[in-house]
A and B are shown apart, each in its own frame.
Chain A
Amino acid sequence: MSEMSSLNTPLDSGEIVKIVPAPAEMQVDSAAPRKKRAVRRVPVLPLLLLAPILIFGFFGSFLMPHDPTMIDPAHALQPPVFAGGTWLYPLGTDHTGRDLLSRLIDGARNSLAVAFFGVALAGAFGTLIGLTAGYFRGAVEELLMRLVDMQLAIPTILLAVLLAAVIGGGLTTVIASLMITFWAGYARIVRGETLSLMQRDYIALARVAGASRWRIVRLHVLPNLLSVVVVLATLQLGAAVGLEAALTFLGLGIQPPASAWGLMISDGKLYMSQAWWIPTIPGIAIVMTVLGSNLFGDWLRDRLDPRLSQL
């Protein structure tokens, strides 16, 4: 080894038989089709599905052509414009003459608000529980996780019915039901993520640097939990809307005369054969919301996956 003390390579190191020129460089066709599995920069489909709903939700008050609660028996059961109706009532009217489009928009605001609050509260509470369990371990973790298990064992609708029986129906009931239903899912996932995060070297190094527990949680654990929590939240938003519609349909949720998609369906179910649009159109709205938020959540999860960013 000591002979090779310098970098200079020995020239003339053997009998040369042939010299083969380097292969030609290969051009890379940058227009070649990209792989379909690539994460799109913009989630087109989910946004298309969600855009109308979100627009209705945020700008509803400016968009409603009519008062959603105004009864107008003279114009009851009008079909939507694409089924023989007029542009006055673009999506038709229900059995009392209320404009469906306006009710849809109004209902969107209510449903979205309820779903949003419910999921946010559930997320905050569930994250807190999961983080506490994962950070402190031991008896605390055991206790909290058993609570989670118990919670997950109770069927949602049953819980909502029970709750409604105790505190009556209405907005509060729905939000409370959402919160009680969804927090456990968060807690479980957050606990798992916390356990895994605590193993990372940067947590140990933060301790070596002298960081306090609270600082570690605030700056190192929470931000890395956020991506998981946000993805779960978007996935659950759709489920929340669905749940709210179900509860409202059963009469436990948003009460008339407020508008809600569930109410529109439950009112309209009697008119299915005469005026199919009354229950169907809100049903489609629910499907669009749930599907859109699920697809968005999928996209977001792929987007936030740190492994993909390294490719």
Chain B
Amino acid sequence: MSQPLLEVRSVGKTFVLRHQRRRHHNVVRAVDDISFVVREGESVGIAGESGSGKSTLARIILRLDRPTDGEIRFDGENIASAEGRELMAYRRRVQAVFQNSSSALSPRMRIRDIIAEPLVVQQPETTPGEIDRRVDDLLGRVGLSPQLRMSFPHELSGGQKQRVAIARSLIVNPSMLILDEPVSALDVSIRSQVLNLLLDLQAERGLTYLMIAHDLAILRHVTTYLVVMYLGRVVEQGPTEEVLGNPQHPYTCALVAASPRFERIEKRAMAVGDNDNTSTIDHGCPFAPRCPQAEARCREETPRLITVGEHATAAHQAACHVLKPAVATTH
């Protein structure tokens, strides 16, 4: 098996909030012991609600923050500690598209400069003519008129802005894109345009995607492998169709059941409590306070990922004490 493109191993990120008055400091484990791989050409999804740590994870992978624990390897290289030229080489190969297109584009820069920026920064010797050519090329590729080149972001609609963001992310020909809720802020009828565009671009350029979203339907449409996060930990991961079609972890079940469908089903039977807690759990399963199946063991011991599911492929795993591990197949 070829080396995976991105390897995340036991990554953790702890924030210390200092309280001036109190003695003790609040320790928040935004991300705790996350491990998964992304192979070239794959689309991996990270599913989670607010507080799951998915955005923190994205920032860590993009080296906007450093992990406090664990390793991140891209193409074999450790990028958590990369600096200077190594970091720049990484930035050439991994780019990002964020959720809010309005705040993702600098309001006082023209579209052309916004799209060109990664190229200008990384390959400053590129001639202005070449830059223009590539900008126009990308504008056309994402379905925008080259005339928008000199416009400002506020003159564009939400869908257009998001296309600009995608164009920008592609100008240095990266291998992988981190997509953080790329369509959540768009109108429903525009979402399909952008999703189709992302899928087309992936097929054309052999891109690898890591997509973060809370909408399971969108993740199902785009990704082949899914990682479900809750309060900083992975609770379940596996091939997308399997995780969504045969969810094992109580949280994944709740998430799937709560997602709106078009068939009016008698769901809500598995109603879970609200996500009210604002502190992190030091030990035990993070979902235990809300889990209808929680036992005493769940509060004491943090569950580890075990292989689950009836048709157990080695890849479908969940971290839950209540589940029984599948009969071990050969690894």
- A–B contact (CB under 8 angstroms): yes
Q: B265: which A residues are within 8 A, CB to CB?
A: none
Residue of A whose beta carbon sits closest to that of B106: A202
Flag if A204 contacts B108 (CB, 8 Å): no
**Contact of A205 with B98 at beta-carbon distance under 8 Å, contacts A210-B122, A306-B107 already known:** yes
B 89-114 binary contact with A (CB < 8 Å = 1; else 0): 00110011011100111111100000
A205 to B118, CA, bound (A): 9
**Among A201, A211, A223, A309, contact of B104 (Cβ-Cβ < 8 Å):** A201
Contact with B along A202-230 (1 / 0, CB 8 A): 10111111111001000110011000000
Q: A29 to B46, alpha carbons, bound, how many Å? A: 52
When distances are taken between beta carbons in the complex, the residues of chain A under 8 Å from B87 are 210
Instruction: Decide if A224 touches B106 in the complex (CB within 8 Å).
Output: yes
List residues of B (222-279) whose CB comes within 8 Å of A's CBs. Answer: 262
CB nearest to B153 among chain A residues:
A202
B64, B103, B118, B262: the one contacting A202 at CB < 8 Å is: B103
Contact with B along A175-190 (1 / 0, CB 8 A): 0000000000000000
Report the bound CA distance from A1 to B264 in whole Å: 12
Q: Separation in Å of the A135 CB from the closest CB of chain B?
A: 15
B62 contact from A1, A208, A219, A220, Cβ within 8 A: A208
Q: A200 within 8 Å of B by Cβ?
A: yes
A310 sits at the interface (CB 8 A): yes
C-alpha gap A215/B117 in the complex (Å): 11
Q: Is the CB of B64 within 8 A of A204?
A: yes
Chain A residues contacting B88 (CB-CB under 8 Å) are: 210
Most B C-beta atoms less than 10 A away, residue of A201, A206, A309? A201
Residues in B neighbouring A208, C-beta threshold 8 A: 62, 64, 91, 95-96, 118
Do the beta carbons of B118 and A209 come within 8 Å of each other?
yes
Q: Is the CB of B121 within 8 A of A201?
A: no
C-alpha gap A306/B103 in the complex (Å) = 12
| B154: Cβ under 8 A from any A Cβ | yes
Residues in chain A near residue B122, CB distance under 8 A: 209-210
A205 B121 Cβ-Cβ under 8 A: no
What residue in chain B is nearest A200 (Cβ atoms)? B103
Given the interface contacts A208-B62, A208-B64, A210-B91, does A201 sit within 8 Å of B108 by beta carbon? no
A23 to B76, CA, bound (A): 67
Q: Complex formed: what's the CA distance from A310 to B98 in Å?
A: 21
A205 contact set on B, CB distance < 8 A: 96, 98, 104, 165, 168
Q: In chain B, what residue has the closest Cβ to A226? A: B108
**Which residues on the B side are within 8 Å of A204 (C-beta)?**
59, 62, 64, 98
Asked if B154 and A310 sit within 8 Å, CB to CB, the answer is yes
**A211 x B108 contact (CB < 8 A):** no
Q: For residue B117, which residues in chain A have a CB less than 8 angstroms away from its CB?
A: 206, 209, 211
Contact of A210 among B107, B121, B154 (CB under 8 A): B121
A137: min CB distance to chain B, Å: 13
Minimum distance in angstroms from A218 CB to a CB of chain B: 12
Q: Can you show 28 pairs from A to B with CB atoms below 8 A apart?
A: A201-B98, A201-B99, A201-B100, A202-B103, A202-B104, A202-B105, A202-B106, A204-B59, A204-B98, A207-B64, A208-B95, A208-B96, A208-B118, A209-B121, A209-B168, A209-B172, A210-B87, A210-B91, A210-B118, A210-B121, A210-B122, A219-B106, A219-B109, A220-B106, A223-B108, A224-B108, A306-B107, A306-B154
13 additional contacts (CB under 8 A) given A201-B99, A210-B121, A306-B107? A202-B105, A204-B59, A204-B64, A205-B98, A205-B104, A208-B96, A209-B117, A209-B121, A209-B122, A209-B172, A210-B118, A210-B122, A224-B108
A residues whose Cβ falls under 8 Å from a Cβ of B: 1, 200-202, 204-212, 215, 219-220, 223-224, 306, 309-310
**Which 5 residue pairs spanning A and B have beta carbons closest together?**
A209-B118, A201-B104, A210-B91, A223-B108, A201-B103
